[in-house]
């Protein structure tokens, strides 16, 4: 048995009960160090822990796949939700196992940001640049959704497409500098790390644990205006 579980981001409070049960019943718990650290209080003392970094993930996942094929119950923990900026890691897990694996969704940093900054999914597009490969289709999509009047929640890519590069790109596309933006570096806080407009954002540096909201120039009507 092997299952991929969304955990966090950053705190056990945002792990589902199903995810917690699977971790407490696991023979093997695997994942990136920072994510394993979040769920560590739930890991049985008898379980084998396999941590990894970007550099050794392929080799470590090969070991997890070997344990899985030997009959161990394996839980692979992902930061936040697997379905937002987690599919390339999922692909690595499935390549190692040589078959599709079950996934348990988690709460994403994007959902936490939506809650803290009070934007609804209906009017907001989520985009991640934290991925390998060509970013251009995602960049043009970001430009287009903002031009269409939607908000955008954006995971930057360390270190070549950080919030300031996102702002510079959007300004270069001719988007109005008046778009309001927020950057959160630690979503357990109540206030954004930084708030300003796109011109100001193009001057700011943030850590790799940053997530960005670019607001629509004008909020969409709620649809309830004028209701009798």
Q: By CB under 6 A, is residue 184 in contact with ligand SAM? A: yes
Q: How far is the CB of 75 from ligand SAM (least distance, A)?
A: 16
User: Is the CB of 27 or the CB of 185 nearer to ligand SAM?
Assistant: 185
Q: Retrieve residue 146's tokens.
A: 């903002």
Stretch that binds ligand SAM, among 64-72, 116-124, 170-178, 204-212 (CB under 6 A): 204-212
Q: Retrieve residue 20's tokens.
A: 């917690």
130-149 residues near ligand SAM, rule: CB under 6 A: 130
User: Is the CB of 63 or the CB of 185 nearer to ligand SAM?
Assistant: 185
User: Is the CB of 179 or the CB of 184 nearer to ligand SAM?
Assistant: 184
Stretch that binds ligand SAM, among 67-75, 97-105, 135-143, 183-191 (CB under 6 A): 183-191
Helix (H) or strand (E) holding 197: strand 194-197
34-53 residues near ligand SAM, rule: CB under 6 A: none
Going by their DSSP bridges, the two strands 102-104 and 124-128 should be labelled as unpaired
Contacts of the segment 133-140: beta carbons below 8 A, 24+ positions apart = 135/161, 139/169
Q: How far is the CB of 35 from ligand SAM (least distance, A)?
A: 9
User: Is the CB of 64 or the CB of 113 nearer to ligand SAM?
Assistant: 113
Q: Is the dihedral of CA 158, 195, 154, 189 positive or negative?
A: positive
Q: By CB under 6 A, is residue 85 in contact with ligand SAM? A: yes
CA atoms of 218 and 160, how far apart (whole Å) = 29
Candidates 3, 4, 81, 202: give the one binding ligand SAM (CB under 6 A): 81
Question: ω before 15 within 30° of 0 (cis)?
Answer: no
Task: Answer yes or no: are the C-beta atoms of 217 and 148 closer than 8 Å.
Answer: no
Name the DSSP class of 198: H
Provide the binding-site residues for ligand SAM, judged by CB under 6 A.
9-10, 79-81, 84-86, 108-109, 130, 155, 184-187, 208-211
């Amino acid at each position: 048995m092997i299952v991929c579980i969304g955990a966090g981001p950053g705190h056990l409070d945002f792990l589902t009960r199903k995810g917690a049960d699977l971790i407490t019943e696991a023979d093997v718990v695997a994942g990136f160090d920072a994510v394993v650290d979040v769920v560590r209080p739930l890991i049985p003392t008898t379980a084998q822990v396999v941590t990894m970094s970007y550099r050794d993930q392929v080799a470590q996942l090969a070991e997890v796949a070997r344990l899985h094929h030997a009959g161990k119950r394996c839980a692979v923990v992902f930061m936040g939700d697997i379905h937002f900026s987690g599919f390339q890691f999922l692909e690595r897990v499935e390549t190692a196992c040589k078959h599709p694996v079950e996934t348990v969704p988690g709460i994403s940093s994007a959902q936490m940001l939506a809650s803290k900054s009070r934007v609804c999914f209906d009017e907001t597009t989520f985009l991640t640049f934290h991925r390998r490969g060509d970013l251009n289709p995602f960049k043009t999509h970001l430009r287009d959704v903002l031009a269409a009047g939607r908000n955008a929640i954006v995971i930057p890519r360390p270190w070549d497409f950080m919030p300031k590069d996102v702002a510079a790109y959007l300004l270069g596309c001719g988007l109005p500098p008046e778009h309001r933006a927020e950057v959160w570096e630690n979503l357990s806080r109540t206030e954004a790390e930084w708030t300003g407009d796109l011109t100001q954002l193009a001057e700011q540096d943030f850590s790799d644990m940053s997530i960005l909201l670019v607001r629509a120039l004008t909020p969409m009507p709620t649809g309830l205006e004028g209701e009798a």
